[in-house]
């Protein structure tokens, strides 16, 4: 239950940070995110994908330009990391879905589309939340 609460708060805060980042992101930041996503290859282990995922989201929060928001999101990433690995190991297609959603978020960021970036971020986080809520 506590983990679901973390994810629900993350679903509120992270899309806002992503939208803010879309307004401020530089081409250099976008290229760095693209290189980060490319670095894990097409079929990463769940643990590698989660490490990449944590860094991807950390960098986006940093691009928001709001240090308080970054700190809040950073404090919430640790407790949700184990659930992300578990999902990657147990849910069919979760790794591919995560990578596809990361690319969509990056596309919206690079195009400076705050509302599209916010929407993709919401979908991305809600997927983990829905999966966790459905696990017995």
pLDDT in tens, 5-27: 999 999 999 999 999 999 999 99
According to the model, what pLDDT value does residue 29 have? 98
Q: Which residue has the tokens 């490319």?
A: 38
According to the model, what pLDDT value does residue 69 have? 97
Confidence of residue 36 (pLDDT cuts 50, 70, 90): very high
Confidence of residue 131 (pLDDT cuts 50, 70, 90): confident
Give the CA dihedral 44, 48, 49, 55, nearest 10 degrees. -140
Confidence of residue 55 (pLDDT cuts 50, 70, 90): very high
Contacts of residue 41, Cβ cutoff 8 Å, sequence gap at least 6: none
According to the model, what pLDDT value does residue 72 have? 95
Give the CA dihedral 131, 79, 9, 27, nearest 10 degrees. -90
C-alpha span between 77 and 91 (Å, rounded):
20
Q: Backbone phi, then psi, for 58, in 5-degree steps?
A: -65, -45
* Count of CB atoms situated within 10 Å of the CB of 132: 17
**Could you tell me the CA-to-CA distances from 24 to 11, 65, 82 in Å, in that order?**
21, 8, 31
The mean pLDDT value of the chain amounts to: 93
pLDDT tens digit sequence for 80-127: 887 787 888 888 888 899 999 999 999 999 999 999 999 999 999 999
């Amino acid at each position: 239950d506590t983990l679901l609460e973390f994810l629900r708060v993350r679903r509120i805060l992270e899309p806002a940070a992503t939208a803010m980042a879309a307004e401020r992101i530089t081409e250099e930041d976008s290229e760095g995110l693209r290189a980060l996503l490319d670095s894990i290859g097409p079929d990463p282990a769940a643990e590698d994908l989660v490490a990449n995922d944590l860094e991807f989201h950390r960098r986006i929060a940093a691009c928001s330009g709001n240090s308080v928001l970054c700190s809040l999101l950073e404090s919430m990433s640790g407790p949700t990391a184990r659930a992300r690995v578990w999902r990657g190991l147990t849910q069919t297609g979760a790794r591919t879905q995560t990578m596809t959603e990361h690319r969509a978020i990056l596309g919206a960021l690079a195009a400076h589309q705050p509302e599209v970036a916010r929407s993709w971020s919401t979908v991305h986080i809600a997927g983990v939340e829905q999966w966790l809520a459905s696990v017995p």
